[in-house]
Amino acid sequence: MADAASSQAVGGQRDGRGGDIMAVLIAVDGSDQSFSALDWYLNNIWKSGSKVIVAHCSDYSSVVWAPIMSTDSAAVSNMMQHCEDTTNNILAQIQQKLARAKIDAQLLRLAGEPGPAIVKAADEHRVDYIVTGTRGLGTLRRTLLGSVSSHIVHHAHCPVLVCPFKKQ
């Protein structure tokens, strides 16, 4: 029977020094706020041996909700290519940032609604906590547009660190 401490570790793994290997999922959508949260984690929390998972959920909402979608296949194809190019650019930025910090991380490319996709990935990968940024939307905008960080906080089965964005 595993003790309570090892059951909290990633798959019950230990780090060889008697401590648990901590796993974190960092949600990055490509915004300055999300990259700021990634930077904050790298500069303030990251420890050698940590299992780092960086997740990006592609945003195809402009294609799904485009009124022209059903009539012009070339326009839809162009919009899809733009979304794909944007996603690839974000993933390249994440990889560069991790390489500069000399951090070996798993990069996840998620699909669907970002909030639920991030919570599901956190559950599947048995992370100890999630790090995300926040856009700092006001109450009305957050109510109308929804908030990914708010969804994560209310639905995740692990602690969530929400990093507020400070403009430089």
How many helices and strands (H and E) does the chain possess?
7, 5
Its CATH architecture, for the domain 22-163, is 3-Layer(aba) Sandwich (3.40)
Task: Give 135-148 pLDDT, tens digit per residue.
Answer: 755 555 544 445 88
Q: Quick one: how far is CA 78 from the chain centroid?
A: 26
Task: Give 94-127 pLDDT, tens digit per residue.
Answer: 999 999 999 999 999 998 889 999 999 999 999 9
Structure tokens at 1: 């029977």
- Mean pLDDT, the chain, rounded, equals 80
Structure tokens at 103: 């951090």
- Spans of all domains in the chain: 22-163
**Prediction pTM value:** 0.79
